[in-house]
């Protein structure tokens, strides 16, 4: 089987590529535009595998995508490619609309034109909006209404609706998954957990929005990859599957846990002006994927966060190059003389 993974040089996409290469002999083709969050060096070990291929491409570039589909004739397309940082979406919404909506539509058109066995859209629980902090009994289910809070979540919800429309109108064999907050190896340093780890290692202030009371459900990235794999191979066409970790934590508690693991003082915490439209609580009910596909998260947060901190301690060169900007030179080193 030949699988196109878009956004495969990013955090979750790269972890998924490694999961597939480890567990299957399928051919994996990574498409990535290599924006600020796409790091080709993340895939250095994948390049050693004969079943892996990389193509630099923008999913919103129709001509390029059609040529790739015509040349490669993929069986499966899994769309991880997305602008995903909420703060950036508040500053530049149009970029998110172009990549997350137009890019998804181009991929769907390519699937319709060239034919595929499965298209899978990797989405987010943020399309559901948020839940109140004083109602721990409430969870997002697949039937929860879409109620977006940011340009980012609005763009992802729009992409989900496009996928469902193409599935119904054109019979595209599509599925959608919506996950809670991921964490683990190769997480880009601007995100909460890696940012706190790196700042703490440098004894820099750890900026926490508001009072840090906002709650997130944390999902270890390898558990997420296993869930997506199950959906792609065994999930029912036309269905949405929620993927959650059952690991709810206040942002402030996450930061304190990281400081404790690193042996750093909580005096490094600095409360900053809250994000505009900041969602209060995310919490997913993953009953459907458990009952239908047998998936459950294997990693609790206390174990996963220790593994994540250890990874950042053991892979300083990876994130130091990102902080310095050197990681952007890797593509040139790999390809300019080829």
In a 3-state reduction of DSSP, which class is residue 329?
helix
Give CB contacts under 8 A, 24+ apart, made by 86-95.
Answer: 86/126, 86/150, 86/152, 86/153, 86/275, 87/275, 88/152, 89/150, 89/151, 89/152, 89/155, 90/150, 90/151, 90/275, 90/276, 90/277, 93/151, 93/155
Residues 128, 297: Cα–Cα separation, whole Å: 21
Q: Which two tokens stand for residue 275?
A: 């994000």
- Of 41, 58, 128, 152, which residue is the catalytic one? 152
> Number of C-alpha atoms within 13 angstroms, CB side, residue 88?
12
Q: Which two tokens stand for residue 123?
A: 């989405």
Q: Is 186 a catalytic residue?
A: no
- Of 20, 32, 125, 160, which residue is the catalytic one? 125
CA-based nearest residue to 309, from 270, 255, 268: 255
Q: Which two tokens stand for residue 136?
A: 């721990």
CA-based nearest residue to 274, from 322, 222, 208: 208
Q: Is 152 a catalytic residue?
A: yes
CA-based nearest residue to 186, from 45, 92, 79, 60: 45
Residues 101, 155: Cα–Cα separation, whole Å: 6
- Of 83, 126, 223, 279, which residue is the catalytic one? 126
Residue with tokens 């900041």: 278
Q: Which two tokens stand for residue 164?
A: 């469902």
CA 92 to chain CA centroid, nearest Å: 19
Q: Which two tokens stand for residue 114?
A: 């060239």
CA 234 to chain CA centroid, nearest Å: 21
- Whether 150 contacts 88, CB under 8 Å: no
Q: What is the DSSP letter of 325?
A: T
Active site residues: 125-126, 152
């Amino acid at each position: 089987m030949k699988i196109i993974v878009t956004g495969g040089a990013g955090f979750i996409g790269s972890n998924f590529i490694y999961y597939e290469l480890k567990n299957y002999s399928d051919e994996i083709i990574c498409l990535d535009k290599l924006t600020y969050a796409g790091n080709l060096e993340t895939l250095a070990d994948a390049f050693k595998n004969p079943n892996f291929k990389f193509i630099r491409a923008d999913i919103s570039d129709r001509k390029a995508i059609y040529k790739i589909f015509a040349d490669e004739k993929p069986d499966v397309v899994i769309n991880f490619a997305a602008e995903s940082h909420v703060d950036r979406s508040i500053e530049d919404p149009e970029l998110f609309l172009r990549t997350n909506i137009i890019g998804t539509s181009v991929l769907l058109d390519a699937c319709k034109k060239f034919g595929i066995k499965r298209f899978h859209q990797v989405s987010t629980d943020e399309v559901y909006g948020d839940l109140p902090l004083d109602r721990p009994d409430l969870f997002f289910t697949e039937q929860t209404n879409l109620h977006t809070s940011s340009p980012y979540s609005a763009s992802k919800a729009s992409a989900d609706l496009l996928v469902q429309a193409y599935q119904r109108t054109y019979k595209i064999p599509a599925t959608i998954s919506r996950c809670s907050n991921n964490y683990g190896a190769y997480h880009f340093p601007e995100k909460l957990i890696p940012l706190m780890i790196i700042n703490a290692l440098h004894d820099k202030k750890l900026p926490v929005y508001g009072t840090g009371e906002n709650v997130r459900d944390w999902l270890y990235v390898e558990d997420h990859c296993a869930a997506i794999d199950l959906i792609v191979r065994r999930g029912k066409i036309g269905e949405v599957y929620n993927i959650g970790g059952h690991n709810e934590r206040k942002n402030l508690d996450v930061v304190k846990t990281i400081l404790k693991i690193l042996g750093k003082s909580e005096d490094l915490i600095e409360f900053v002006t809250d994000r505009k439209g900041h969602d209060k609580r995310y919490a997913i009910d993953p009953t459907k994927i458990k009952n239908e596909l047998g998936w459950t998260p294997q990693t609790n947060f206390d174990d996963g966060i220790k593994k994540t901190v250890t990874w950042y301690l053991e892979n300083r060169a990876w994130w130091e190059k990102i902080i310095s900007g050197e990681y952007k030179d890797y593509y040139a080193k790999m390809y300019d003389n080829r």
